[in-house]
Amino acid sequence: MDLHFKIEDWVKERKSHVFHRQLVIVSGPKAWAEKQVENLLINFESLSSKHLWVGDAPSNQQAVNSLDYRQHLGREYNTLIYNCYSGLSANALMAYSGTIKANGLMVLICPELKSWSQYSDPLSKKRYSYGFSQYLEPSRFITRLISIIAHDKNTIVITPNSFRGHNSTIAPEQFNRRLDSATSEQDKVVSSIIKSASGHTNRPLVITADRGRGKSSALGMAARALMLEQEKKIIITAPTKHNVEQVFTFATPLKQDSLINNGSIEFVAPDALVTGSYHADLLFIDEAAAIPSSILKVLLDKYPRVILSSTIHGYEGAGRGFELRFKPYLETAHKGWKDLTLTTPIRWYTDDCLEHLWFSVFIMQDSTSNSLTQAQGKVIGQNETPVNKITSSKRLSEYKCQEVSKEQLVDSPQLLSKIFSLLINAHYQTSPDDLFRLLDAPEQRIYVCTCDSDVIGVALICSEGGSALSDLTQEIILGHRRVNGHLVAQNLALHTADKEFVNYEQWRIVRIAVSQEYRRTNIASTLLQFIESSAVEHGIWLITSSFGATSKLLKFWGHNDYIPLKLGFKRDASSDEVSLIVGKSLSLTTSTLLNKLSLQFREELIYHASRYHISMNTSLLTHLLTYCQPQDISTRTRYRVEQFIASNSPYMPFSQLLAKYVLTKLSRVEHANTIPKEAEFLVAALIQFKTTQDLVTEFKLSGKKELNTHIRNAISTI
């Protein structure tokens, strides 16, 4: 049958019934493909009434940039056209797919399938580190995507010479429920929110859901009921006001509702809530995973009744961070908190073809509903307590460490799924774009630790510096250029004005993840040692890592002989922690280089402790100070410290001397477990130089007099 008539029959059938959302691939020369899609829009009048064109478009079509997807989250379209000739973003694909309404289509315009993997993607330079993109091979990610599409019976494929596919029918029982009508899960959520408005205080309610499950509408319906029936004043906050448009839509009174008297709902930005004075009977925090946990903690302390909602699959991976980092905090600090999950879609039908396809492409189906107890991993050895032997039933000899090539990942979908699922469940920032880089980025390496056929540990490595940056050394040192990738190499070169940090080819450990079952068994350390041996074989003499600093992570890296090299000043928006660069030398030359930087680190840490680092976790700062170069205590210093201990003098006149004494004592600590328990208090008082009131409050003292006594006793026992 002629191609035109096949398409016509497909269009005619789709016009006459309601079908699942589906993916349509229009593959062929760019001009032809764009014209073909224009014709589809003309034939699908109902779909063309509200459509979005992403990337290059014909002159009569309005288009948006593929990387502007955040601006369209929360909006809905009948048809979305994504022009892959303009560049492919995995995060954008996943995000835009959630904007398509029931019975809608997602259309991808792409090169001929047989040559697509060799297409020079305009966005490739954004995905890979500078100096590596010119070595790109055919895209393995695209090869895998084409393979999945070829085996997916619900994807329509149109080429200049062929048509393949069919409209995907919806199960008859699905029609019994009208879309966008409240589900029993939503009713439960609305009821729980209403109860929270008058129930026990300080028991947060957490609502999580994937896209399209009616999370925002449930918040809106509950808000409307609370305003009408109880005249509650509600504040809602989110990363942007645009995030809560749907909430306000459902919170607006219906025609049959009586007028709201004193009830209200108001949007206030998170930072304004922290610093300002706002009254609310109930606080809604939407898209909580995208808000730093330090702000969330302040708001939970400030407002007694809080509802937090979050999307499970954040497009930059933030949703997993909320699961891994913030829910455990709630368990500790807010006993009695409640967790509800919405699973039934309301904006499209159950077993939706489009969602299933993209979850399969980005290996999210295995992590969608896994609870923390089922699938939680850990980040770079987080919570790993160094032990001398494997505590499970397996012996160390039964664990195998090896490098996995990108070809192996393509040839073994099961292996790829195990590796990426572990990264998703173990790290708060693993996103769809990371899968793209994992398969294609030439500067990345993957190392795994296996037990039998199970992948129990994964390490992601990135090559930095060396010949890739040789033509930019001086510009980087002077701060005139900052290229994509090479995170640590550029950072340290600029920080030290030392070209060696650019010239040396080095490996940065991006992530290490270990499965829940094998935590506390030294798997991360074993994998790290294997990577170091492999690095030496490849002529690599420097290994680094950069991460959000915590005491547990610092303990892990210190246990493996990595030293702190540079501490950031600002908290990262995703991890809500200050970034820390650590490194380990694998040669005498780089050892000299790191020793010089270590001395600079010590001087800067002490200088900034009472300035930029005054709000840092004191336990972390205390631990970092143990990395300072060991110092001798002079007879004069020892005499004056003894004088202070024996006197009744306030500590302030002695504070400089006492600070020096404490720093000297900490510099002699050889292991984190031997840090004196009094050290943290002394660091807060004498190094961070916190105010008297802050010290009294933080350490639960009665006042200034007890503070002096506490310092005197701590100095005498440290």
Chain centroid to CA 639: how far? Answer: 52
- Strand order of the β-sheet with 63-64 is 63-64, 51-54, 77-83, 100-110, 22-27, 156-159, 162-164
- Which tokens in the block code for residue 24? 């349509």
DSSP 574-642: TT-SEEEEEEEESSHHHHHHHHHHHHHHHHHHHHHTTTTTTTS-HHHHHHHHTTSPP-PPPHHHHHHHH
CB atoms near residue 623 (< 10 Å): 25
What sign has the CA pseudo-torsion 146, 148, 149, 153? positive
Rounded Cα gap, residues 463 and 469, in angstroms: 11
DSSP 678-699: THHHHIIIIIS---HHHHHHHT
Give the E-state strand segments of 303-396 in sequence order. Answer: 306-311, 338-342
- C-alpha distance across the termini of the chain, in Å: 88
Amino acid at 47: L
In eight-state DSSP terms, residue 324 is I
Rounded Cα gap, residues 342 and 236, in angstroms: 20
Please check if 11 is assigned to a binding site. Answer: no
The kind and range of the H/E element at 658 are helix 655-667
Rounded Cα gap, residues 380 and 523, in angstroms: 11
Phi, psi of 621 (to 5 degrees): -60, -45
CA 316, 318, 319, 320: dihedral to nearest 10 degrees? Answer: 100
Please check if 629 is assigned to a binding site. Answer: no
Place of tokens 């005054």: 614
C-alpha closest to that of 390 among 509, 513, 514: 514
Angle at the Cα of 290 from the Cα atoms of 285 and 291, rounded to 5 degrees:
60
Three-state SS for 164? strand
Q: Using an 8 Å Cβ cutoff, are 458 and 513 in contact?
A: yes
Rounded Cα gap, residues 673 and 499, in angstroms: 37
Contacts of 655 (CB under 8 A, 6+ apart): 686, 689
Rounded Cα gap, residues 71 and 8, in angstroms: 34
- Which tokens in the block code for residue 176? 């019994």
Amino acid at 313: H
What sign has the CA pseudo-torsion 669, 672, 675, 678? positive
- Which tokens in the block code for residue 145? 């995507």
CB atoms near residue 280 (< 10 Å): 22
Please check if 238 is assigned to a binding site. Answer: no
Please check if 189 is assigned to a binding site. Answer: no
Please check if 64 is assigned to a binding site. Answer: no
Rounded Cα gap, residues 442 and 420, in angstroms: 17
Rounded Cα gap, residues 70 and 431, in angstroms: 14
CA atoms lying within 13 Å on the CB side of residue 538: 16
Q: Using an 8 Å Cβ cutoff, are 126 and 484 in contact?
A: yes
Amino acid at 585: S
Angle at the Cα of 356 from the Cα atoms of 350 and 358, rounded to 5 degrees:
140
Binding residues for acetyl-CoA: 512-514
Binding residues for ATP: 186, 347
Binding residues: 186, 347, 512-514
